[in-house]
Structure 1
């Protein structure tokens, strides 16, 4: 079956033509790229529905919360006044993989976003090991339906204000509600509703047993044993604050613990996306670029449609210079796509410099095999450390600045061998989420006194937490814990306490 896309403007398509072009894209993805995919489910939505999906973190099912309505009102106002564009699509890491396409897109743009989302992102979601380890594409949609229904039930039973109070606190702690280091397959969402009922029954019987051991006299205090024994009893230190609150808070009711768990599991579900933003977008952009060019070569895109595609693609991968008015940091589309195009170049036509820097792939010819191995086994940080070449550093004009806040800026890495290695290392560090999010752990609980919850923030490179933010978040934490919370900011090198906060719950 042959079908040609021409340039005719918006809404130049119907569902039959969309089906035909999907089949053409699928043939290229299957025969030439051999992409292993989830089944695709493509939904056509209006711009209002796209705004609604934006507001609720892009998920097709989501519980109600005031922040989603606030996001919708803001984004709609900006969009209607021409101050913000909308994405052409949203894609869901689920099985089937759901791609939302704007009905206002032209046929060319529908082809582009199908190739980008339904094939590029779909492949990355299914095959990257980080997503395999931390997410459950089969169970996410049933779990979100359960979460939506459960929170609605809680609102009807306990009141919207009470549910909102728990959700506000849990949302504030979301970044500290994940396990950053994998221990095992974290969860299976498929039968979560059944397990939730079992947990609620068990929690009603036993959640407060630990707190019955809190001593009421000096003699009883000695029975608690050493600090190490107490920390072992509580499973400390614990980096996942929401998990600790769900399991150990002395004041939360069973339904409140379940809401904490819902927010925690959703936060964990999105954690791989935070670590692979550049790779995920780079993979999808590389796939759509390959497919759209092959369609043009096969006569499926007219010259006008190809120009429309190239205009959109070029805008997506544009990287403004640091002194450009539109500079906003490193564009993950531009950097990811550039890295993957560069790998293809090194595999096919390497230079002597490429052979010295990456001899394992230089000239191997199997660019698709190298890319697939990278897509499956790396996250942004490790991908940059492995594959960023001097050629791409020069092309993207990367250099390294040092700012100690006291003297003039110092250029510490230029385009020589030492500079290339420093730029690659520092750029990889910049994409390492573990290094760029505060390392906060619960380290102790004052069981022998007033149940103070004691946290510690390890300070690296002199970076303290913003004082205004930390007090607000600690207030939410104290409300969920029910007692005073103390956070000490401690130097990672000397163990000296640099700053300390103490916040109690609202009464």
Structure 2
């Protein structure tokens, strides 16, 4: 599998035969040594312009047209040309086959590194993590995106670009609130998806479906009470509803069938990316651990030379660089660095635990099988639960983590948790909580609407820790909801602990 010199490659130049030989060797070692299970891989070589284009369309190889993608492209291009930001060496798509974009400017050593990182590390995580298995369909996403691109293009031809962009603008504004968080959406194959779309649109074109029925009159002829009507209304509409795009798609009385389908397309794409937002530390940590381990195995077996290994280690160090909190480059915790440290710490605990490790991790300390321990962790956790279970006191000390208490009515910060038994628990819980998107994303739900009356749509925002929505973006989003709903919309903010009303805002107050 190697060249006559025994090396997979020499020098920085590469060709497709060298890439293929390197991938086959790396994949064989990954399967043998790390027991990885991956989708088939499709590699594509792209230029820097194509990489910028992929950035602008959320990294997907197929995407519909929208002005925001062009705006994002120009912004990224400006930063890149002026040296304000570099480009990713690779881009990987959660699909089956797994599509990996490699930059043509990469050297061969870098191509080997990113092949291990993306084509094996990310690929294994996409295929085996429970969130991706439950919430995404890797075998159908490319076919669905092809359908979505063609469908929106046909809508633009039939209804005009401005009309389509108006719906897309409103739907994009609600993407964060357009996902199911607590129950699994149905999966459809691409053929069933397209057939279902056709049948649904044809049906909606020729008929009107009552959205719900009123309560039947009682036997004594008395009118039902208002509370009973409201309860039945909420029951029939399955309220409260967390997915705003889904509710508008199904229940708006002003949307035409093609507009509902456009909203549905945006909602499906938002749901596709939902697991990735919950697993950044784990996903990048897994891929970084895989590439670092595989590159060292290649070097130990004499398959790559010292020069290539030095280049690989330099790029690896750049990836996991963690600036200090007082460094101008600091922008938070580097998920590559934290993820890799936690994976390597699990490896250490499994093979050479300390007495402290045995107290904290009795189930894995000294089990000797770090591979299976990591495979289980990659398969069964998201960032929040992974940190809550596996962050060790050793890493807390290494990263110098501590907890600051910042009460609104207190003029001073307080160091609430330090490096002691109780402090480790608090620090781990606080860091894990910061990765819980349920805690960091606004909890906004549809709580009531009278479809047969004034059609007034009522939303509720549960305020946590006194954090209310920023006024400008809140009002702009309410206007987008009103555009899709067609009638008055209000949002009441209530304290999540007490249920007391904090404030209420309606579209009649903010105008068009």
Matches within 5 A, 1:449-488: 449-488=453-492
How far does the alpha carbon of each residue in 1:353-397 deviate from its partner, in whole angstroms, 9 at most, with x for none? 000000100000000000000000000000011100000111111
- In structure 1, what is the equivalent of residue 394 of structure 2? 391
1:104 is paired with a residue whose SS is: coil
Give structure 1 regions of 4+ aligned residues with deviation exceeding 6 angstroms.
211-214, 219-224
**Partners of 1:286 and 1:337 within 8 A in 2:** yes
> Separation in 2 of the partners of 1:308 and 1:67?
37
> Separation in 2 of the partners of 1:152 and 1:322?
47
- In structure 2, what is the equivalent of residue 493 of structure 1? 497
**Partners of 2:134 and 2:184 within 8 A in 1:** no
1:16 is paired with a residue whose SS is: helix
> Separation in 2 of the partners of 1:239 and 1:457?
10
Matches within 5 A, 1:46-445: 46-183=47-184, 185-210=186-211, 225-405=228-408, 406-445=410-449
C-alpha change, 1:6 and 1:21, in structure 2 (3 Å) is closer
Report deviation, 1:50.
0.3
**Partners of 1:239 and 1:442 within 8 A in 2:** yes
Report deviation, 1:42.
0.3
> Separation in 1 of the partners of 2:470 and 2:247?
24
How far does the alpha carbon of each residue in 1:267-301 deviate from its partner, in whole angstroms, 9 at most, with x for none? 00110001111100000001001110000111111
2:34 is paired with a residue whose SS is: coil
State the TM-score, normalized to the length of structure 2: 0.94
**Partners of 2:246 and 2:264 within 8 A in 1:** yes
**Partners of 1:44 and 1:101 within 8 A in 2:** yes
- In structure 1, what is the equivalent of residue 218 of structure 2? none
Moved more, 167-176 or 219-228: 219-228
How far does the alpha carbon of each residue in 1:322-365 deviate from its partner, in whole angstroms, 9 at most, with x for none? 11221110110001111000000000000000000001000000
> Separation in 2 of the partners of 1:331 and 1:285?
12
Report deviation, 1:492.
1.0
- In structure 1, what is the equivalent of residue 15 of structure 2? 14
> Separation in 2 of the partners of 1:227 and 1:212?
12
- In structure 2, what is the equivalent of residue 34 of structure 1? 35
C-alpha change, 1:366 and 1:396, in structure 2 (3 Å) is same
2:100 is paired with a residue whose SS is: strand
CA RMSD in angstroms comes to 1.9
**Partners of 1:179 and 1:268 within 8 A in 2:** yes
- In structure 2, what is the equivalent of residue 43 of structure 1? 44
Report deviation, 1:315.
1.1
How far does the alpha carbon of each residue in 1:205-258 deviate from its partner, in whole angstroms, 9 at most, with x for none? 4455238979xxxx9997995211011121111000100011000100000000
Report deviation, 1:20.
1.1
Report deviation, 1:24.
1.2
> Separation in 2 of the partners of 1:435 and 1:207?
39
Give unmatched runs, 5+ long, in structure 2: 216-221
> Separation in 1 of the partners of 2:59 and 2:177?
21
**Partners of 1:207 and 1:247 within 8 A in 2:** no
Report deviation, 1:29.
1.0
Report deviation, 1:446.
3.0
> Separation in 2 of the partners of 1:135 and 1:76?
31
> Separation in 1 of the partners of 2:254 and 2:227?
21
2:92 is paired with a residue whose SS is: strand
> Separation in 1 of the partners of 2:27 and 2:304?
15
2:346 is paired with a residue whose SS is: helix
> Separation in 2 of the partners of 1:206 and 1:356?
66
**Partners of 2:137 and 2:187 within 8 A in 1:** no
> Separation in 2 of the partners of 1:176 and 1:224?
28
Corresponding pairs, count:
501
C-alpha change, 1:433 and 1:188, in structure 2 (3 Å) is farther
Q: Does 1:502 align with 2:506?
A: yes
> Separation in 2 of the partners of 1:330 and 1:267?
25
State the TM-score, normalized to the length of structure 1: 0.95
